[in-house]
Amino acid sequence: MLVSALNEAAQAAGLSPGMALADARAVAPALATLPADPAADAALLARIAAWCGRYTPWTTPEGEDGVWLDATGCAHLFGGERAMLRDLLSRLAGFGMTARGALADTPGAAWALSHYGEGNRIVPPGGAGKALAALPVAALRLEPDAVAGLRRLGLKRIGDLYALPRAPVTLRFGDAVMRRLAQAQGRIAEPVSPGRPPPRFRARLAFAEPVGRADDIAEALHRLLHDLCEQLDRAQQGCRRLELTLYRVDGSVQGAAVGTAYPARDAAHLARLFAERLGHLDPGFGVEMATLGAPVTEPLAPAQVTAQVTAPGTRNIGPKPDAALAPLLDRLGNRLGFGRLVALEPFESHLPERASRAVPVAERGHAGDWRRAAPRPLRLLSRPEPLETVSPVPEDGPPAAFLWRRVRHRLRAAEGPERISPEWWRPGPAWARGPRDYWRVEDEEGRRFWLFRETQPRRDGAPRWFLHGLFA
């Protein structure tokens, strides 16, 4: 059993992470211990990173105990860099967390200052070299071996490395030392990818007092939408997805997202899509900030697309109704799921189940006409159901009667057969038994069915009959 983490009091008592628990107890008999739970720590860190979204959309957890924030262009919203950092740290302290933060041009310098810096931890542009000079070399995020090696050579501070020639250091300690130094100074780039790509369009609203009433949140959403739609309008973009994030006073984050079938930037319409979701958001003890991001956008021509409402009776919507229908489809899609709104399109195939293709309405292609080879049923069974044929079936004709779902249907008339062969280039289990002979049959009550018989006999010799469609 090893010690994995310590609080300040334990550190003051002389303990260090990595020592055996028995040793630690010997040093500090009053030690209170809890089992380590790395998964919960990681989850907490992810939550903190999400909470940091109130400062910038670009956040991601770093290592086991850090969070990167790309605050470029965000500080002015909080009254400057110093005020923003103070705000961030004091809020974290308010949640009972011990946190250190630094702000610099490069991730390397910010990491070094936040972990090892004293006093001022805000580096002015271009000041990384000066700010880092007094810090220990471990602040460069080096392997312990490299740190120990440098120390043996008397190179204890980052400043000691500045004057060294590059080649011998690289030869001795590998590429990492000089690369980390250059990254910290901003001479070479250090790409860090965000937890999730920040949306290109984003609106943000901070409240002077935490709000909790549903009306207030709806009003906030209204303002955010107005702001965001203006941004979208300037860029001639429409959103396909919107994410509302509420930052609660207790540090937790609530989110709601809606999608649209077509690019949209009509604030009133988008607000309606959110209407149902707002009810499910729990403001807790209050919400102090809200952001609205559009992670997925598509070009949308400047003319606003709105529903055309014409007087009843004079409606003349052609075969492409999508523009006027978009608001309705969005509302339906957000509740039912956009995958459940489908259009039926013809597909060049003679297999019945492939000839009519269900595509999401947004991807509707307005394809051509249906093949009119022979009458086709109104409904197709998702999978053909085997039938019991009660009487002997003639070799080349349909049965005189069949049993389907326990109901006996005596046939009055039949039309067929229409032979349909599988597509050899698309082998599949459904058509593994070769061509089928389809019949259109009618029972004595006038109900019409679409039956088929497999042409390859089964092991017991008798051909099997299936029901594949209904004509009503």
Q: Contact positions toward other proteins, by CB under 8 A?
A: 307-310, 312-313, 315-317, 319-321, 324-325, 327-329, 331-332, 335-336, 340-346, 352, 355-356, 358, 361, 366, 369-372, 375-382, 412-415, 440-442, 444-448, 469-472
Q: How far is the CB of 357 from other proteins (least distance, A)?
A: 8
Question: Is 455 in contact with 437 (CB distance < 8 Å)?
Answer: yes
The full DSSP string for 409-458 is EEEEEEEEEEEE---TTS--STTTT--EEEEEEEETTS-EEEEEEESS--
Angle formed at CA 197 by CA 342 and CA 70, multiple of 5 degrees: 160
Least distance in angstroms from the C-beta of 458 to other proteins: 24
Q: Are 439 and 452 in contact (CB under 8 A)?
A: yes
- Identify which of residues 300 and 441 has a Cβ nearer to other proteins in the complex: 441
Parallel, antiparallel or unpaired: strands 448-454 and 465-470: antiparallel
Q: 94 vs 346, which CB is nearer to other proteins?
A: 346
| Nearer CB in complex with other proteins: 76/379 | 379
CB of 20 to other proteins, least distance (A): 56
Q: Residue 46 or 325: which CB sits closer to other proteins? A: 325
Helix (H) or strand (E) holding 148: helix 144-152
- Tell me if the bond preceding 302 is cis, omega within 30° of 0: no
Distance from CA of residue 97 to its chain's centroid?
29
Given a contact cutoff of 8 angstroms between Cβ atoms, the answer to whether 186 and 129 are in contact is: no
Nearer to other proteins, 193 or 382 (CB): 382
The distance of closest approach from Cβ of residue 463 to other proteins in the complex, given in angstroms and rounded to an integer, is: 22
For 278, half-sphere exposure in the C-beta direction (CA atoms, 13 angstrom radius) is: 18
Cα 108 from Cα 62, distance rounded (Å): 12
Residues 338 and 238: their CA atoms lie apart, in Å, by 17
Least CB distance to other proteins at residue 275 (A): 12
Between 17 and 346, name the residue whose CB sits nearer to other proteins.
346
Give the separation between CA 35 and CA 41, rounded to whole angstroms: 12
Cα(440)–Cα(158) distance, rounded to whole angstroms?
86
- Report CA-CA distances (Å) from 16 to 8, 65, 449: 10, 16, 80
Peptide bond between residue 463 and the one before it cis (omega within 30 degrees of 0): no
Query: In the bound complex, what is the minimum distance in angstroms from residue 15's beta carbon to other proteins?
Result: 56
End-to-end CA distance of the chain: 72
* Closest by CA position to 104, among listed 75, 76, 137, 61: 75
Name the token pair of 246: 């509420």
Q: Which residue do the tokens 């009810």 mark?
A: 279
| 10 versus 361: smaller Cβ distance to other proteins | 361
CB nearer to other proteins: pick between 371 and 458: 371
Enter the tokens of residue 333.
Answer: 């899609």
* Rounded least distance, CB 381 to other proteins, Å: 5
Which residue number, 126 or 375, has a Cβ lying nearer to other proteins?
375
Query: Cβ of residue 207: shortest distance to other proteins, in angstroms?
Result: 33
- Considering the complex, state which of residue 213 and residue 379 has its C-beta at the smaller distance from other proteins: 379
- Do the beta carbons of residue 333 and residue 258 sit within 8 Å? no
Query: Any idea what the Cα angle at residue 405 is, between residues 399 and 410, rounded to 5°?
Result: 30
Which residue's CB is nearer to other proteins, number 278 or number 325?
325
Output DSSP code: residue 164: S
Q: Which one-letter amino acid corresponds to residue 214?
A: A
Between 20 and 275, CB nearer to other proteins? 275
